[in-house]
Amino acid sequence: MKRVNDIFYSLQGEGRNTGRAAIFIRFAGCNLKCPFCDTDFSQYEEMSDEDILNRIKSYSSHFVVLTGGEPSLQVDRHLVNLLHSHGYELAMETNGTHPIVDGIDWITCSPKGNTVIKRCNELKCIFEETTQVPDDHGICAEYKYLQPCDVQDAERNAQIVKRCFDYILQHPEWRMSLQTHKLVGFK
Which one of 8, 37, 129, 166 is the catalytic residue?
Answer: 37
3-state secondary structure the chain: CEEEEEEEEEECCCHHHCCCEEEEEEECCCCCCCCCCCCCCCCCEEECHHHHHHHHCCCCCCEEEEECCCHHHCCCHHHHHHHHHCCCEEEEEECCCCCCCCCCCEEEECCCCCCCCCEEEEEEEEECCCCCCCCCCCCEEEEEEEEECCCCCHHHHHHHHHHHHHHHHHCCCCEECCCHHHHHCCC
pLDDT one-digit tens code per residue, 6-58: 999 999 999 999 999 999 999 998 888 777 676 677 789 999 999 999 999 99
Residue 126: is its pLDDT beyond 90? yes
Residue 122's pLDDT is 98
Catalytic status, residue 140: no
Which one of 41, 45, 51, 181 is the catalytic residue?
Answer: 181
Residue 185: is its pLDDT beyond 90? no
**Percent of the chain scored above 70 by pLDDT?**
95
Q: Indicate the fold that domain 2-184 takes in CATH.
A: TIM Barrel (3.20.20)
Residue 179's pLDDT is 81
Residue 113's pLDDT is 83
pLDDT one-digit tens code per residue, 146-184: 999 989 899 999 999 999 999 999 999 999 998 866 766
Residue 1's pLDDT is 97
Global pTM reads 0.92
- The mean pLDDT value for 87-114 works out to 96
Catalytic status, residue 50: no
Q: Across all residues in the chain, what is the average pLDDT?
A: 93
Catalytic status, residue 149: no
Which one of 27, 67, 70, 93 is the catalytic residue?
Answer: 93
Catalytic status, residue 24: yes
Residue 34's pLDDT is 75
Catalytic status, residue 137: no
